[in-house]
């Protein structure tokens, strides 16, 4: 491979790479505002000026191609002087409002002012004033005075979102950004411009003024808005999720995520509809009960039915580990082959960027984990028809709303003799349930999802639910009720007693005489890796933070692209 000399160090580069790209591949950062690895080059911020020997003047690293034998200086006296000059120019009209700016702590202008500026201004005239608090669209707010005209947002709308909505108007120090006449910035990916804005010019109308980055904790996770499984960071303060942002994974979502996933996939966690304890229906009313009482009620009721009269519905919203235990519970404890999950498909939601027609994060994972009817068992439509015909009399529904998906079967579901539901929030199905177990949300547990491309990915607890893995090890449900503060959390002013579905089912199975026992989600995945071909040779360490591909074909005729 060809080489260049960068600050005295010889590094290799790929043909066609620019200086900034070659440096980045070797962990060397050249300062930049307008350049982004997934956008076209505009070359208008000039902070990436470097000196190339035998060239008559400084060049911008973002658009200058690397060539064999090139000698580049990024830190010598001429370059440092140029960086100081560029920063002084950019800061001349920039407002001194860092204390109230949402970008504080994540701002490239702040960082570079500290690293590459002289630390004081010679400008004594009045700064140019521009429009502030301009709603470019329903989700993005614009502050013209903070904008440094890097054009990242304009190029993103043109090149990634494929929806040109923004443009520059005016010239010189009066230049600003506006939407085209009659347009607003409402494309489904508009909030990515907030992430890539290097200053605080573009802010989220949902997150605005809620917190500073140093007040929050960040946890790597996965978006559950569709089967793409975009990699995300969950940002939390005071045990409340305040925002989701995309996390770079070139094999899944690159640097992006859609606005739906960003805004609509976590609001249920702190909603008033959260189920805050096990509930049993008595005299037509749902009454809060202890975990032991709920488990004992489930066992006594389930024993009243034959295996042919029971059906279990898993969930494409639940983790692979949850679904593995669901399948194990249905087949070995209840002895039923009437097992399936609900498909949530909406072709109108899909696009050619990231969004898929499958609105759930783990359809493929549910199938791989065993959520499929046995040869003599019923699939989802067969289960519904059998409920209508009174052949299925008991339904165990996990982390889904069957009435939202099949509202025409409401009368049939209402006629069941037993409906047990695991749910995070109250919904149409819990309104008919005889017994409700509060399930942990995806931000409160460990586990894995398999996306549409067959990449298995990790989720982690982001809010302060105690490590329930250790709490349940050797501890009875009654003791958990007594010492619940060790694993409960506070949300929306209510105490939420929620457990991952696999823990609830192992407790019910144990009470029914089964030997199913796991202490951690990782142990379940280890058994899956030993028993399911698709997960062979995988573990949580191999999956890591960027995921791993499952085996391309498995014996259950589930094929992965």
User: Do residues 373 and 339 lie in contact, with contact meaning Cβ atoms separated by under 8 Å?
Assistant: yes
Label residue 66 left, alpha or beta by phi (over 0 means left) and psi (-120 to 50 means alpha): beta
Phi, psi (deg, nearest 5) at residue 542: -65, -40
Q: Which residues contact 335 (CB under 8 A, 6 or more apart)?
A: 307
Strands 310-314, 339-341: pairing kind: parallel
- Alpha-carbon distance values, 544 to 94, 364, 419, 459 (Å): 41, 19, 38, 10
Listed as ranges, residues in the chain with pLDDT below 70 are 464-496, 552-561
| CATH code for the domain of 32 | 3.10.20.740
User: Of 58, 73, 91, which marks where a domain is finished?
Assistant: 91
| pLDDT at res. 120 | 78
| pLDDT at res. 490 | 40
Domains contained in the chain, number: 2
| pLDDT at res. 464 | 61
Q: What is the 3-state secondary structure (H, E, C) of 215-260?
A: HCEEEEEECCCCCCCCEEEEEEECCEEEEEEECCECCCCECCCCHH
Summarised one tens digit per residue, pLDDT across range 72-90 is 999 999 999 999 999 999 9
Domain span at 33: 3-91
User: Of 29, 64, 91, which marks where a domain is finished?
Assistant: 91
3-state class of 295 per DSSP? helix
| pLDDT at res. 470 | 37
- CA 441 to chain centroid, in Å, comes to 13
Q: Other C-beta atoms within 10 Å of 129: how many?
A: 10
Q: Which residues contact 77 (CB under 8 A, 6 or more apart)?
A: none
| Nearest C-alpha neighbor of 508 from the set 382, 328, 270, 259 | 328
* Within a domain: 180: no
- CA 95 to chain centroid, in Å, comes to 33
Q: Other C-beta atoms within 10 Å of 102: how many?
A: 21
| CATH code for the domain of 428 | 3.40.50.740
Predicted TM-score (pTM) of the model is 0.91
Question: What CA–CA distance (Å, rounded) separates 297 from 278?
Answer: 11
Strands across the sheet with 240-246, in order?
Answer: 217-222, 231-237, 240-246
Q: Which pair of tokens denotes residue 185?
A: 């910035």
Q: Name residue, tokens 């409002």.
A: 97
* Within a domain: 141: no
The DSSP output letter for 74 is: S
Q: Is residue 460 exposed (0-12), middle (13-18) or buried (19+ Cβ within 10 Å)? A: middle
* Within a domain: 156: no
* Within a domain: 274: no
* Within a domain: 267: no
User: Do residues 470 and 439 lie in contact, with contact meaning Cβ atoms separated by under 8 Å?
Assistant: no
Summarised one tens digit per residue, pLDDT across range 433-480 is 999 999 999 999 999 999 999 999 999 999 865 334 334 333 344 444
| pLDDT at res. 556 | 44
| pLDDT at res. 357 | 98
Strands 140-142, 455-459: pairing kind: unpaired
Beta bridge partners of 274: 425
* Within a domain: 318: yes
Question: What CA–CA distance (Å, rounded) separates 139 from 460?
Answer: 27
């Amino acid at each position: 491979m060809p080489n260049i000399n960068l600050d005295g160090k010889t590094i290799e580069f790929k043909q066609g790479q620019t200086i900034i790209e070659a440096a980045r591949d070797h962990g060397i950062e050249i300062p930049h505002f307008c350049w982004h690895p997934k956008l076209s080059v505009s070359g208008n911020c000039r902070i990436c000026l470097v000196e190339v020997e035998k060239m008559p003047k400084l060049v911008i690293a973002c658009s200058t191609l690397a060539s064999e034998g090139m000698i580049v200086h990024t830190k010598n006296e001429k370059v440092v002087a140029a960086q100081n000059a560029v920063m002084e120019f950019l800061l001349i009209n920039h407002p001194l409002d860092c204390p109230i700016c949402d970008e504080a702590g994540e701002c490239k202008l702040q960082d570079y002012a500290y690293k590459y500026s002289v630390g004081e201004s010679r400008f004594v005239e009045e700064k140019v004033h521009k429009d502030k608090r301009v709603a470019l669209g329903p989700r993005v707010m614009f502050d013209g005075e903070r904008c440094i005209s890097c054009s990242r947002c304009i190029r993103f709308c043109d090149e990634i979102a494929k929806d040109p909505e923004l443009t520059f108007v005016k010239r010189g120090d009066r230049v600003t950004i506006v939407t085209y006449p009659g347009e607003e910035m409402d494309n489904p990916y508009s909030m990515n411009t907030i992430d890539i804005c290097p200053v605080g010019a573009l802010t989220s109308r949902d997150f605005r003024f809620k917190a500073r980055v140093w007040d929050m904790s960040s946890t790597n996770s996965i978006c559950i808005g569709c089967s793409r499984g975009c990699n995300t960071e969950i940002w939390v303060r005071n045990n409340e999720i305040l925002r989701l942002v995309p996390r770079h994974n070139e094999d899944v979502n690159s640097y992006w995520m859609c606005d739906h996933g960003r805004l609509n996939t976590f609001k249920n966690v702190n909603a008033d509809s959260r189920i805050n304890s096990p509930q049993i229906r008595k005299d037509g009313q749902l009454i809060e009960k202890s975990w032991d009482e709920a488990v004992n009620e489930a066992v006594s009721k389930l024993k009243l039915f034959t295996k042919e009269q029971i059906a279990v519905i898993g969930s494409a919203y639940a983790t692979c580990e949850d679904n593995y235990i669901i399948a194990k519970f249905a087949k070995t404890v209840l002895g039923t082959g009437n097992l399936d999950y609900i498909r949530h498909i909406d072709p109108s939601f899909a696009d050619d960027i990231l969004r898929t027609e499958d609105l759930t994060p783990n359809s493929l994972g549910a199938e791989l984990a065993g959520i499929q009817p046995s040869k003599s068992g019923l699939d989802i439509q067969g289960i519904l028809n059998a409920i209508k015909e009174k052949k299925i009399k008991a339904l165990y529904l996990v982390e889904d709303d069957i009435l939202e998906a099949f509202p025409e079967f409401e009368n049939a579901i209402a006629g069941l003799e037993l409906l047990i539901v695991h749910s995070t929030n109250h919904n149409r199905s819990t309104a008919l349930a005889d017994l409700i177990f509060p399930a942990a949300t995806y931000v409160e547990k460990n586990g894995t999802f398999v996306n549409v491309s067959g990449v298995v990915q990790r989720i982690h607890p982001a809010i302060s639910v105690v490590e329930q893995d250790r709490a349940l090890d050797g501890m009875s449900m009654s003791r958990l009720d007594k010492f619940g503060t060790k694993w409960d959390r506070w949300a929306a002013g209510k105490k939420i007693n929620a457990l991952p579905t696999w823990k609830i089912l192992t407790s019910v199975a144990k009470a029914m005489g089964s030997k199913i026992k796991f202490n951690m989600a990782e142990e379940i995945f280890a058994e899956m890796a030993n028993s399911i071909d698709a997960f062979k040779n995988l573990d949580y360490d191999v999956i890591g933070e960027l995921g791993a591909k499952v085996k391309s074909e498995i014996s259950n005729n589930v094929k992965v692209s």
